[in-house]
Amino acid sequence: MTDFINALTQDNLSYLLQGLGITVAVSLLSIIISLILGSVVGIVMFEKIPYFSSLVGTLNNIVRNLPLLLIIFFSYFALPQIGIRLPVFWSTVVAMSFFEAAMLSEIIRGGLDAIDKGQFEGARSTGLSNRQTMTHIILPQAYKKMIPPLISQLISLVKDTSLASGVVLADLTFRGQVVYAQNSHFIVPVLIFMTFCYFIVNYLLSLLAKHLDRLLA
């Protein structure tokens, strides 16, 4: 039988919510970093800089085709072997950021490709430099088109944080496992609570996407 009362005590709920806080913190930091890195990589690939863009694109494809869990393991277990030691929280952020940046860069490159070439020519004919054209004319239009796929990918990022329980990051998934390991009757209540928490976070992200889409339409 399931045991909701003893599974979701005040102490257990507090413990689980602290894990949710870690999940949200990892997600927010990874979102910010991956958006910055992904934008840079996407622009580099779009600009088709001789040799450099091809090299960046090749490395990006390698990262995109690796399992995220492998990248998390590499960040946590392999980096210390070359002298880079990070706490589990930051090694997770690094792994998530690099993986998501690789995924987002393809969305950003595709968004830039969708902009009419006349926009580039028109901006440059007014005397704007390539950097000014990209910053003030092209990127604002491209990001408007990219909001739905970007948010969809970022929602996947939030869900993928659960993989970090494999390196003992004390996030919501890991703490849930700790709680229901106490008693097999706790499994269903804890999983339901975890499901609710992930749903709320991702649902809020989807609402944000719809709001930004209407705002920028």
The CATH number linked to 53 is: 1.10.3720.10
| Beta carbons of 185 and 1 less than 8 angstroms apart | yes
Number of domains in the chain: 1
Gyration radius from the chain CA atoms: 21
What the block records as the tokens of 140 is: 């604002």
| Beta carbons of 172 and 20 less than 8 angstroms apart | yes
Residue type at 135 in one-letter notation: T
For each of the chain's 217 residues, which pLDDT tens digit applies? 678 888 899 999 999 999 999 999 999 999 999 999 999 999 999 988 889 999 999 999 999 999 999 999 999 999 999 999 999 999 999 999 999 999 999 999 988 888 887 777 777 777 777 788 888 788 888 888 788 888 888 888 898 998 998 888 889 999 999 999 988 889 999 999 999 999 999 998 888 878 877 776 6
Is the full-model pTM beyond 0.85?
A: yes
Domain that holds residue 21: 4-216
DSSP-H helix ranges across 66-186: 68-73, 88-113, 117-125, 130-132, 139-160, 172-180
What the block records as the tokens of 124 is: 């440059």
Residue type at 15 in one-letter notation: Y
| Beta carbons of 172 and 159 less than 8 angstroms apart | no
